Structure 1
Amino acid sequence: MTNSDINFLSDLSESLVHPFYHKYIVFTGALSTMTRSKATKHINACGGIVQGAVTSKTDFVILGNKHRGTSTKQLKAEQLIDLGVDIQIIVEDDFLWLISIPTKPQI
């Protein structure tokens, strides 16, 4: 291997991209750990965009722990998934884990 085969990053933050960065996110059901407003602030801080309704642009649907049965938003997401749209349906605990991922390296 020669030096020309090695890539050096001058800024580590360039290599770190949050899973919600530039992704469209929809909440359904009440969150048990925070308000929808606070959850939206977390999404925005990660570079994501909160939507009010599920569309073919949606990347994630987050199911609040207080959801009762299957919501119309979840049904719409499942229909789009069946049509080949890449939407991930995740539960609130997974959402909390994802927003805990640092958006910048810790120094």
Structure 2
Amino acid sequence: VGTIEPGGESAVRDVLPDLAAVARSLGFRFPDADLACVAGFGSSAWDRLFAGPRPAHLHPFPELRGPLHHAPATPGDVLLHIRAERMDVCYTWAAQLLDKL
């Protein structure tokens, strides 16, 4: 989970279109890794990053408490869930993304 500093919106917008290209590139280099990435955006970040109306059900993440589990309200702007069978491939992709940000 990351926070977009004021003025950093354009850097995030520039990286987003490259997610699929980087996935393909790393997939060719590491075909056994089964690499995937999902990007999620916080409610306030959406308004700063994208034009037009926000999705109808997009709202700040509330704290959730249940009998067994607790999910705190998180203030992050961007979540990149990077997944692969090999942790080194996850690290490689995350490092490339962070270098661009």
Same fold (TM over 0.5): no
**Whose helix fraction is larger, Structure 1's or Structure 2's?**
2
Give the alignment's TM-score, normalised by structure 2.
0.26
Question: Which has the greater radius of gyration?
Answer: 1
Q: Using CA pairs below 8 Å that are at least 6 residues apart, which structure has the higher relative contact order?
A: 2
